[in-house]
Amino acid sequence: MAEFAKPVIFVSLLFSFSCLTTVHGDQRKKEVESEQKINNNNKCDLFDGIWVYDESYPLYESSDCDFIEKQFDCSKNGRPDKFYLKYSWHPSACKLPRFNGEDLLKRMRGKSIMFVGDSLSLNQWQSLTCMLHKSVPHSQYTNLRNGLLSTFTFPEYDVKVMMSRNVFLVDLVDEKSVGRVLKLDSIEAGQFWKQFNVLIFDSWHWWLHTGRKQPWDYIQEGNQTVRDMDRLVAYEKALRTWTKWVDNNVDPSKTKVFFQAVSPDHLNGKDWGEKGSNTCEGQERPVKGKSYGGGPHPAELVVEKVLREMSNPKLVYLLNITTLSQLRKDGHPSVYGYGGHRGMDCTHWCLPGVPDTWNQILYAALINQNE
C-alpha cells in the first residue's frame, strides 16, 4: 500500500493547487473586470465615496524613496501613529484600480508628464515619482533640479515626470520702476507647456498670502493696476486667462490636461465637529462618512464655474480631490513636517498619504482616456 501513497498524495496536492490557482485566477479576473468598469463607464464619479481602513496600505514606505522632501516625510520626522497610512479611497459607484506604476510607464513610453503649480503640486509630484519608483525598484532613475524645474527620469522607459514651480499660473514680473507685478491676463510660461503630453495644473494656496508673505506689490489687468483686490476675484480672472490658453493651444490628441482642485487645510475644528480644535495636530483618523461639515471650499466653486464656461470644457479633466481630501484631517504633517515642533503644517500632506490617492485617480483617468 505504501507504494501507492506517494502518487495519491501527489495527485491530491496537484488537485488542491489546481483549485487554488483557479480560485485566485477567478478572483483576479473579477478584480480586472471590476477595474475595467472604470474604463467603460465615464459616468462613474471617482470623487464620491468614503475612506476605508485597508491593511494592504500604504502603497510604499517613505524609506523606499530617499528623495522625498523632509517636509513630507512624517514617519522619518517622528510621527508615532500609523493609522493615517492605512486608508484607501472607495468610490461609491465603481472600483478604483490599484495603482500599477509599471503599466503607467509602459503607456507613457517616450512621453513626458509635467506638474505645474505650488508646493501642493510638489507634494503630488513627489508622491507619483515614489509610486513609480516603488513599482519598478530595479529600474534606474535620475532626479535633477534646476532652479524652479525638477525632472525625474526613467531612462528604461524614456519617461520624464517633471515639476515646474509656478504658483499663480499667470505671470509674476519684477519691474524695477514699480516692483513685483502680478499680471492676471498674461501667461508667458504657456510656450513652455506646449511640449508635454500630460499636464497637471494647480493653483490656490499662494493667493491667500498677505503682508510680508504676499509675493506681489501690485496686481495688473489690462491697463489697470491696483495694489490689491478680492482674492477670489483675482483667482477667477487668472483662471480664465489659463483656460483661454488651454482653449487656444491644447490639441487633445497630443496632450491631456488636468487641473488639481483645491487642496484643503484643516485649521478649524468646527469644520469636522471638534469645536475646541484649531489645528490638525493629534488627528489620527479621517472624518467618517462622505460629507464634510465645513461645506464646499469657496475656491472650489470658482474652479468648477470657470471650467464649465470654457469654450471646450472637455479639454480639462478636473481632479476634484477637494471633498475627499477634506475628510482627511489626519493626513497633514502637523508638527512632523519641516519645522518640527516649532511649526504647524496643516496644509501639506504626509507621504505616503493622501496625494497617493490623487495619483491613483490620475492613473485611472489616464487609463480611461487612452482606451
CB 358 within 8 Å of CB 258: no
Alpha-carbon gap, residue 332 to 72, rounded angstroms = 9
| Annotated catalytic residue 119 | yes
Q: Give the closest residue to 346 by CA, choosing from 272, 261, 237, 256.
A: 272
CB 89 within 8 Å of CB 320: no
Task: Find the distance separating the first CA and the last CA of the chain, reported in whole Å.
Answer: 59
Alpha-carbon gap, residue 81 to 42, rounded angstroms = 38
Instruction: Tally Cβ neighbours within 10 Å of residue 251.
Output: 8
C-alpha cell at 263: 487642496
Q: How far is CA 96 from the centre of its chain?
A: 15
Please identify which of the residues 133, 205, 297, 348 carries the catalytic annotation: 348
| Annotated catalytic residue 112 | no
Element (H, E) at 357: helix 354-370
Is residue 200 classed as helix, strand or coil in its secondary structure?
strand
Q: Give the closest residue to 236 by CA, choosing from 294, 175, 298.
A: 298
Alpha-carbon gap, residue 350 to 330, rounded angstroms = 9
Please identify which of the residues 62, 75, 119, 121 carries the catalytic annotation: 119
Please identify which of the residues 171, 330, 345, 356 carries the catalytic annotation: 345
CA dist 241 → 183, 252, 255 (Å): 10, 19, 19
Scan for cell 507613457, then name that residue: 108
Element (H, E) at 365: helix 354-370
Tally the C-alpha atoms within 13 A of residue 306's C-alpha that lie toward its C-beta: 26
| Annotated catalytic residue 345 | yes
> Which residues are catalytic, by number?
119, 345, 348
